[in-house]
Structure 1
Amino acid sequence: MLGGFKKILKSLGPGMIITASFIGPGTVTTMTQGGAGFGYSLLWAVVFSIIATIVLQEMIIRLSLVTREGLGEAIQELFAHKIGKFIIVWFTLIAVTIGCAAYISGDLIGTSLGASYLLQLPEHLVAPVIGVIILLIGLFGNYRFLEKIMLVLMVIMGLIFIITMIVIQPDVIGILQGVFVPTIPNGSILTVIALIGTTVVPYNFFIHSTAVHERFKDLTDLKFARWDTIISITIGGVISAAILISAATLIKGEEVTSVIQLAGPLKPVFGDFAPIIISIGLFAAGLSSAIASPTGAAATISSLLGWKGGMRSKKYKAVFVVIIIIGIITSALGFEPLQVLLIAQALNGIILPLVAILILIIINKKKLMGKYANTWQLNIISFIVVLVVTFLGLYSLIDAVKNIFAA
């Protein structure tokens, strides 16, 4: 029993990369805004997003271990018609790459918020330096090194945000109501979509399939790969919920511009260390997400184009470098054009439901998956998840298109 538990702990890795990826500045800010704006009432959305992520990523695990291929290769093989294959593959590739390139500047700026507070330096100077550090990680690091970095960042985030939640003694009854009694308060629908959308991320499907190949050898490791996903993503959910709960307890009703606002109400507990503690947590969240953006682009392109070698491939590293250089330049210039971000949001609104539907179709192919295809019970759960994700994506698309024309 103890030996099995130790092996499960040693198996943690790919799931932690996914978790560290989705807990970035966007997630931290969205959770803070959700708690400050609507109290504990939207905790059910956090719980749903975690269940949805586990369901979708578990299908990726099975697909990767059964086929020994990535998601991109499986998508290519799904289409017999060359034109259909070309359209789906290249649309997915372009959409994910543009999204990663558009968001990398924000990721670096978000990372620099914490570091600039600690170092007392301007964000536009700190962000490019962080970008160069990530560039070096991409050039000279490997999967094991990336895994260790993400694990360390997860531990830092977990300690800071979960301990903060415990110390402030939130309303336990209010938390339970928020989790088990779903409500959508007036004006909260976009926040609900954002809470789910910051957790269920399209490029994480491709990162996970690549990471599974790097870490697990075959189907004998399926049990441990599943535990890795369940434990890692659940920890991520607890961290996300802790941020929302802390905001709901400390700054409900305030307009949120930065997670650093949590530091003020925490001063009676942590004293002058309060802003430092929050800044370190924000830095860890930003760094993990900033590493994930170029990793996501590289993993997606490599998988869809069938490049071999995984994270060791020169082509993989080249894509990583291009994306992070875009981030270094744009963050140094403070360049974050609204139109590009809105286009990225619109593309994400299309690509998220599209990839989720393709995963569900592929995982049900008996000829490909054999006994590891979805059971009818899993299909019911998966269908509900994909349905909600599709609604989420379409709503996000419509909102982005409206804003594009309004801008």
Structure 2
Amino acid sequence: MKNFFKNLGPGILISAAFIGPGTVTICSVAGVNFGYSLLWALLISVFACIILQEMSARLGLISGKGLSDCIREEIKNPFLRIFTLFLIFSAIVIGNAAYEAGNITGAVLGVESVFSTINFNLGALRLNIWSLLIGGVAFILLFLGSYKKLEKIFIALVLLMSVAFILTAILTLPDISEILKGFIPGSFDAGLLTIIALVGTTVVPYNLFLHASLVSEKWSGPEYIGSVRKELVFSLLLGGIVSMAIVVCAAAAQIDKIEDAGDLAKGLEPLFGNSATIFLGVGLLAAGITSSVTAPLAAAYVVQGCLGWKKGMQSKRFRAVWMSVIILGVLFSSLGIKPVEIIQFAQIANGIVLPVIAIFLFWIVNQRSVLGENRNNLFQNILGFIVIILAIFLGVKSILNVIQNF
């Protein structure tokens, strides 16, 4: 058991990355609008995530490189390579800069569900103090520059977040038989967009890049493949349980409409008292902080791989990328700006890039020249093919959804 906890790390960071404020909000919407009936969609999304992340982790372990490095090196056609890297850069770097504001704002909602809003005026500008403080925390955590330190901090934050959300769900005293019925697929029509959102918020494109890079930082060599898989499955199943706990909380909250996770905290307080609100606020704060660190970290790894920079978190260029993402996120969040056009562009780019990256990852993990005997077997290819079809469907639907909203 001691050895197992020693091996925790990359998978925990991936779990922390997909349970951000966006996931909390989408799971809350699913619970409020559809009760427990979409729990099956979450379960499928977790298994799809495990399949893709295992390929990414195995790539990082055996090759010792990040996914963007491998894409840059393996695509020989110059035009296709430049186009693919541009698409990745657009979706991950620009997208993460836009979503960083949401991550920081989500953490702020967690604080403000327990404490009051604090603003101060800077000339004509009105800034939110909590946004600045949370952005500062993310900055300090990344400036430490050590993967091992980040790993320990994230294990603590994920455990805190898990305990907070699961305890909140227990406080709502849910009907276990109704929860079990939620794992049986029912009508797809009522919650199709919510189903797409639930899967899309769990199977995150930037996590495929982040995981390969993090695994290459922690381990090296095929002898660790068992440890990598155990740690990955444990971490992502824990993340899935946390997401399901949020759905359970939201199903218990007697509210008609929800726009963000802050509404969920308000809805729980009259029913289950101040303790439920505090637990939810702590969980949301931890979710916001972890995502506000992993998003800029992933962006930095992607740029590093796309441009062929030398590896190392201490690199000035590496730091410049994540600093830029955090600064933009803090500005958008503290000023209350909603960069709708940028987020819409990022959603379209992510809708295209998820199936594209899934296909390239699938192709690379089948290359003997890259993974040797550890390339995909027939069973892994069948599972991977099914997930790619799902990713294409999600991509097309998300693009159409954004276009319809213009």
Q: Does 1:313 align with 2:311?
A: no
Q: Distance in 1 between matches of 2:105 and 2:260?
A: 12
Q: 1:73 to 1:246 in 2, by over 3 A?
A: same
**Aligned pairs (5 A) from 1:293-308:** 293-308=295-310
Q: Which amino acid aligns with 1:206?
A: F
1:298-350 deviation per Cα after TM superposition (whole angstroms, max 9, x unaligned): 11111222222332322211101111111122222211132221111111101
Contact 2:131/2:330, CA 8 A, preserved across alignment: yes
Equivalent positions of 1:57-76 (< 5 A) are: 57-76=53-72
Matched, 1:230 2:258: no
Q: Distance in 2 between matches of 1:136 and 1:296?
A: 16
Moved more, 107-116 or 49-58: 107-116
Identify the residue that residue 336 of structure 2 maps to in structure 1: 334
Q: Deviations over 1:47-91 (max 9, x none)?
A: 011101111010012111221111112112221111211111122
Aligned-partner Cα distance in 2 for 1:80–1:27: 37
**227-236 vs 323-332, which deviates more?**
323-332
What do residues 72-121 of structure 1 show as CA deviations (whole Å, max 9, x unaligned)?
Answer: 12112221111211111122112211100111111111111111333312
Q: Which amino acid aligns with 2:214?
A: A
What one-letter code is carried by the residue in structure 1 that aligns with 2:23? T
Q: Deviations over 1:183-226 (max 9, x none)?
A: 24543111111111111111111111111111113221111111
Which of 25, 30, 47 matches 2:26?
Answer: 30
1:182 aligns to 2:185 (yes or no): yes
- Separation in 1 of the partners of 2:384 and 2:92? 23
Q: Which moved more, 1:59-68 or 1:23-32?
A: 59-68
The CA distance in 2 between the partners of 1:128 and 1:360, in whole Å, is 40
User: Over the residues paired in the alignment, what is the CA RMSD in angstroms?
Assistant: 1.8
Distance in 2 between residues matched to 1:398 and 1:265, nearest whole Å:
32
Aligned to 2:88: 92
Q: CA deviation at 1:277?
A: 1.9
Asked if 2 retains the 8 angstrom alpha-carbon contact of 1:342 and 1:403, the reply is no
SS of residue matched to 1:254:
coil
Q: Is the 8 A contact 1:260 1:275 kept in 2?
A: no
- Which residue of 125, 131, 144 maps to 1:127? 131
Q: CA deviation at 1:26?
A: 0.5
1:204-283 to structure 2, matched below 5 A, reads 204-251=207-254, 254-263=256-265, 266-267=268-269, 271-283=273-285
Q: Which residue of 2 aligns with 1:159?
A: 163
Letter in 1 for 2:279: I
Identity across the alignment (%): 38
TM-fit CA distance, 1:378: 1.2
Which of residues 196, 205, 209 in structure 2 aligns to 1:202? Answer: 205
Distance in 2 separating the partners of 1:130 and 1:381:
39
- Quick one: distance in 2 between partners of 1:272 and 1:60? 42
- C-alpha change, 1:67 and 1:185, in structure 2 (3 Å) is closer
Deviation at 1:138, TM superposition (A): 2.0
1:211–1:249 CA distance, 2 compared to 1 (3 A): same
Q: Which segment is superposed worse, 182-191 or 269-278?
A: 269-278
Distance 1:140 1:167 in 2: 37
Distance 1:264 1:333, change over 3 A: closer
Deviation at 1:270, TM superposition (A): 5.6
| Equivalent residues in 2 for 1:139-150, closer than 5 Å | 139-150=143-154
Q: Match of 2:79, as an amino acid?
A: I
SS for the counterpart of 1:256 is coil
**2:11 corresponds to which residue?**
15
Q: Which residue of 1 aligns with 2:124?
A: none
Consecutive unaligned residues in structure 2, runs of 5 or more = 120-127
Q: 1:115 to 1:263 in 2, by over 3 A?
A: closer
Conserved? CA contact 2:103–2:291, under 8 Å: yes
Give the secondary structure class of the aligned counterpart of 2:327: helix
Partner of 2:76: 80
Q: Which residue of 1 aligns with 2:123?
A: none
In the alignment, the residues of structure 2 paired with residue 367 and residue 210 of structure 1 have an alpha-carbon distance, to the nearest angstrom, of 19
1:42/1:184 contact within 8 Å kept: no
* Greater mean deviation of Cα atoms: 214-223 or 259-268: 259-268
Structure 1 residue 118 corresponds to structure 2 residue 114:
yes
CA contact (8 A) 2:354 2:395 kept: yes
- Which shows bigger deviation, 301-310 or 31-40? 301-310
**Quick check: 1:210–1:310 contact (8 Å CA) kept in 2?**
no
- Give the AA of the match of 2:38: L
| Counterpart Cα distance in 1 of 2:65 and 2:44 | 29
Contact (CA 8 Å) 2:90, 2:346: kept in 1 or not?
A: no
Are the aligned partners of 2:165 and 2:246 in contact in 1 as well (CA < 8 Å)?
yes
Amino acid at match of 2:375: A
Alpha-carbon distance, 1:21 to partner: 0.6
Q: CA contact under 8 A between 1:61 and 1:209: conserved in structure 2?
A: yes
Distance 2:187 2:234 in 1: 28
Q: How many residues of Structure 1 are paired with residues of Structure 2 in the alignment?
A: 398
In 2: Cα distance, 1:299 partner to 1:393 partner: 23
Task: Note if 1:105 corresponds to 2:101.
Answer: yes
CA contact (8 A) 1:206 1:303 kept: no
Question: Which protein is richer in helix relative to its size?
Answer: 1
